[in-house]
Every structure is written in structure tokens, then in C-alpha cells.
Chain A
Amino acid sequence: MRRLSLIMGLALVGLVVAAAAVSLVWTPYDPNLVRPPDRLLGPSWSHWLGTDRMGIDLLSRLMVGSRTTLMVGVIAVCLAIVVGVPLGLVSGIRRGWLSQLLLRVSDIMFALPALLLAILLVAVRGASVATATWAIGIATVPVFVRMAHAATLSVMAQDFIDAARSCGTSSAAIALRHVLPNIAPIVGVQASASFSSAILAEAGLSYLGLAAPATTPTWGRMMRDGQVDLFLTAWPALAPGLAIAVAVLGFNLLGDGLRDQLDPRLREFR
């Protein structure tokens, strides 16, 4: 069962990554080529997923869109990890007033919806994929702060930390040598889960018109454009919607599978 979710997750994520990679060198059609005679075609042998209101091949556009989706996810999650994990780690090891303050601030930020943050940022910087990425990344930081903090606390309660302290190991060495490797699997699982939320968030922001302009193909933007013709044909909205579902499901399954694989103690029944 555990193995299964890892394999399914890898397969779905692999599909998205492969689509993005292939789109760099080849797409069935030019993803920006407008061909009014072919508008709103259903799926067929020549257009596997049909075409949109401009006659653009949906599959080609989805493939190109997957690049933006992955890029937003990677950058936002990396930003959140790079900022959030060290903060959570330090606050879990040194429990002073500064750590308390840090945790309170991240609690407040946690309560703030990413959407609100995005609207604020868009107001300042204008709508773009980059703005959306920043907003999603910043909104995800407190998730990692809290997760890393809690995980660090539970590692710090173990006897091997006292053993390390009692032979004079410094706090920095304890953090790097003992705590980080032990919380790494949890960070990995969280990263995978956050990746799927980032994809959803980007789609949502694009759908609201707060991220990608019409010229940039992203899945959320495609849904927004597709809904106009919902009464004529569902395909232009359904295809990107399915793509989002596949990617989100893929990263969630991958996260579950990873959690079980990364823990050496879970690998065998004791």
C-alpha cells in the first residue's frame, strides 16, 4: 500500500515533469498559433484534447503551461524551505524570547490567507507570475517554521541530544549533525504537500487574473479563459482542471510515499 502511493505519486509527477521537458523541444502545435477556423473543436486524432476559442491546440498549451506550474512550485517551496526551516530549527533549539516572538509572528502570518497577501503584493508590484510566486512562497514560510519547530522539539527531547551535549558538542553541530538529518524526512513530506498547495494557489491566482497575463499559458489562466465557453464545450476548462488535479494528487501521493520510505525504522516490522 505504501509502496503503491509512492509509485503512483512518482508516475503522476513524472508525467507532469515529462510534459514540461518535452514542451521545451516539441509540442504537437505551436502553443500560440491562433487558427480561428479550428476554434472550440472537441478531442480528436489531430487535437487530442481539442482546441480553445482561439483555435489553439489545448494539449500544446497545457504542456507549455506545466513549465510555469512547476517553476512556481519549485521556487515558492524552495523559498519557504530556505527561510522557514532554519528559523524553525533555531527556535526549537534556543528557546528564548526571540524564538517566542518568531513563532508568534509566524502564527499571525499563518492565519493570513495567501490570497490576501497576493492581492497586497499585486497592488504594489502588478500582476505577474513572479509576483504570484513570491506571494505563495512567503505565505508558505510559516508552514515550514512551525513544522520544523515542532519536529526539532521532538528530536531535542531524545536522549541522544543529551549524549551529544554531554560530550561538548556545540549547538550548531547538534543542529546540523543530529536535528537536521532527523527532521529532513518530515521537511521532504511537507515540501511535497506544499508543492501541491502551491500549484493550487497559483492556479487560483491565475484564475482570478492576479498572476499570469493572457499571453502566458498557465493552467489557472486556461481555466479562466475556458469558462467563457462552458456552455458550448467543457473541454477548454476541463483539460487544465484535470491537469491541476493530476499534479496535486501526484505530489500528495509522493509525499505520503516518501514519508514511509525515508524513515529507516518504518522499513521493517519490529
Chain B
Amino acid sequence: MSVFVVEQVSRRFGRRSSRPVQALDRVDLAIEAGQRWGVVGESGSGKTTLLRLLAGLDRPSAGQIRFQDRPLDLADRSSLTRLRASVQLVFQDPQSSLDPRMRVGSIITEPLRSGPLRRSGQVPTDVKARLNEVLEAVGLPQAAARRYPHEFSGGQRQRIAIARALAPKPDILLADEPVSALDVSVRAQVLNLINDLVADMGLTLVMVSHDLTVVRHVCDHVAVLKAGRLVETGPVDQVYRRPASDYTAALLAAVPRLGDRWD
């Protein structure tokens, strides 16, 4: 079953009078249940815009997104609730994605206390038990629930953000550069965590990154965006080994490698 079908989707920003920015230009993409997609490209390539469209935080200027074989209509309450109940997001900057004035426990359980999700009957009702479950799943102590985000390091904050995304038992996880704000030494921990969780819970994953090696490690499929256009899609292994476009090859070559100088 297709989870998302993106059909000829475009997104322009800015008014007609000033120069509009074409963030996405007629993009087609089909994401099947259980797949792990990576969306790569430079900054400004439209990859975050695509993710926001999938998350229902923004609507396309043209084209259509189908979610679970039905058109996604943000104006339609039931369509939106269906999306919200099964799709969760992890953001790039764990500094700004956690409300500094809320305790970690309330942050993580917020999706469980949201009205539409509770009424949909698809989210766990025992909030306390679920909190402890997800804290354990991301490797944080239960005592963390009583503390504030600023008391944690960047890597731990990203764990908190992941715990929040997992709390309502989503089927689909969207991640926007989940490790690019983290130290290289912490990156490995978070990637391990994402890999384990996606496998254990059988999640569909869409992960945006500018780093193809990160995508290769986590994803099985990749879509390469350049200036809003899709330049290449396919199984990640194939794209990684034999990139069809020069742009993809340049993206790959740009990743700094330890071996560059001393091998």
C-alpha cells in the first residue's frame, strides 16, 4: 500500500508581485509502507518544503498529495486527523523544537493530550505508562521527565524529540536533518537509535539530509532534489554506488572523509 503519493506537486513562496521562489517544481514520488526514504539535496533544494507538505504543515501551490490512497485535504478535518494520528515529525534543531518552558514529561506526552488525536482513538490512553515506555525506548531515565530541555545536551534533546514523535505510536516518521545539528560523536548514537526504532516498530521513514552517507546508513530509497526538481530516485545502494546525475556525484564527493589524506 502506498503511504504517500506525491503527484506533480509544486510549491511557490512569495507574492505574485515580487519574485516568487519556486521551492518545489512538479515533483512526483511514491512512498510505500515500510520503506525508508532519504531526501537529499543542498540547502534551498526544497527538501524541507517537501517534508512539511507531507506533514500537513503546508499545502502545495499545485499538484496533489495522496495519503493512504486518499487525497490529503488540510481543510477536511477527518482527512487531517487521519494524517496527524499516524505521522510524526523530528526536527533538525533540538534547541528550537522543544518548548523551553515545558518539562520533558509534558513535551513528550503532548501528542497524547491533543484533542483530535485522543478522539481518533488511535493513540495510547495511559499517558503515564506510555511516557515511561518511550523514555526507555530512547534510552533516557524516567527522572528526565521532570526536568527542562535546557538541562540536556544536544544529543539528549534529540532523544527527547524522538520520544515525543513515538509517543502516539505513529506508523510514519518524518525526520528533518535529525543529526546535522549534532556533534559527529553524538551522531552515531542518534542514528543507531533511529535505525533500531524504525526496525522494531516497523515504521515508514522519510528522512531529509544533506549528507548522502547518513542517508545510506538509514534508508533503503533515496530521492535527490536540486532547486526544487527531482533529479534522481532509486534504491540507495544503487544511487550511492553509481549516481546517475553529476549533481548526486558532487553531493557524494563533498562529504568529508577521514581517509581523504592518509589512506
Contact of B93 among A159, A166, A168, A265 (CB under 8 A): A159
Across the interface, which residues of A come within 8 angstroms of B261, CB to CB?
Answer: none
Whether the pair B96, A160 counts as a contact (CB closer than 8 A) is yes
Contact of A168 among B81, B89, B97, B150 (CB under 8 A): B81
Binds A, one of B114-122, B135-143, B214-222, B242-250: B114-122
Whether the pair B117, A167 counts as a contact (CB closer than 8 A) is yes
Contact A164-B110, Cβ < 8 Å, known A181-B101, A264-B148, A265-B150? yes
Whether the pair B98, A166 counts as a contact (CB closer than 8 A) is no
A259 at the interface (CB under 8 A from B): no
B258 at the interface (CB under 8 A from A): no
Across the interface, which residues of A come within 8 angstroms of B101, CB to CB?
Answer: 181-182, 264
CB distance from A230 to the nearest CB of B (A): 52
> 1/0 per position for A149-170, CB-CB distance to B under 8 A?
0000000001110111111111
Contact A166-B57, Cβ < 8 Å, known A160-B99, A265-B150? yes
Whether the pair B84, A167 counts as a contact (CB closer than 8 A) is yes
> 1/0 per position for A163-184, CB-CB distance to B under 8 A?
1111111100100011001100
- Complex formed: what's the CA distance from A265 to B114 in Å? 27
Considering only CB atoms and an 8 Å cut-off, how many residues of chain B contact the other chain? 33
Across the interface, which residues of A come within 8 angstroms of B99, CB to CB?
Answer: 158, 160, 178, 181-182
B168 at the interface (CB under 8 A from A): yes
- Complex formed: what's the CA distance from A81 to B57 in Å? 31
Whether the pair A163, B114 counts as a contact (CB closer than 8 A) is no
Whether the pair A167, B111 counts as a contact (CB closer than 8 A) is yes
Across the interface, which residues of B come within 8 angstroms of A170, CB to CB?
Answer: 114-116
Interface centre among A160, A162, A268 (most CB of B within 10 A): A160
Across the interface, which residues of B come within 8 angstroms of A270, CB to CB?
Answer: 150
Whether the pair A264, B97 counts as a contact (CB closer than 8 A) is no
B44 at the interface (CB under 8 A from A): no
Across the interface, which residues of B come within 8 angstroms of A162, CB to CB?
Answer: 52, 55, 57, 89, 91, 97
Whether the pair A168, B117 counts as a contact (CB closer than 8 A) is yes
Contact of A163 among B115, B117, B164 (CB under 8 A): B164
Whether the pair A160, B97 counts as a contact (CB closer than 8 A) is yes
Contact of A264 among B55, B80, B117, B150 (CB under 8 A): B150
CB distance from A168 to the nearest CB of B (A): 4
Across the interface, which residues of A come within 8 angstroms of B161, CB to CB?
Answer: 163
- Complex formed: what's the CA distance from A108 to B148 in Å? 41
Contact A173-B114, Cβ < 8 Å, known A159-B93, A163-B164, A167-B84? yes
Contact A163-B91, Cβ < 8 Å, known A168-B117, A264-B100? yes
Residue of B nearest to A162 (CB): B57
Whether the pair B100, A159 counts as a contact (CB closer than 8 A) is no
> 1/0 per position for B157-175, CB-CB distance to A under 8 A?
0000100100010000000
CB distance from A31 to the nearest CB of B (A): 45
- Complex formed: what's the CA distance from A170 to B118 in Å? 13
Contact of A166 among B55, B96, B148, B150 (CB under 8 A): B55
B60 at the interface (CB under 8 A from A): no
Whether the pair B115, A166 counts as a contact (CB closer than 8 A) is no
Top-8 shortest CB links A-B: A167-B111, A159-B97, A168-B116, A168-B84, A159-B91, A181-B101, A168-B114, A159-B96
Extra pairs beyond A163-B164, A168-B117 (13, CB < 8 Å): A163-B91, A165-B57, A166-B55, A166-B87, A167-B84, A167-B88, A167-B111, A168-B85, A168-B114, A181-B102, A182-B100, A265-B150, A268-B150
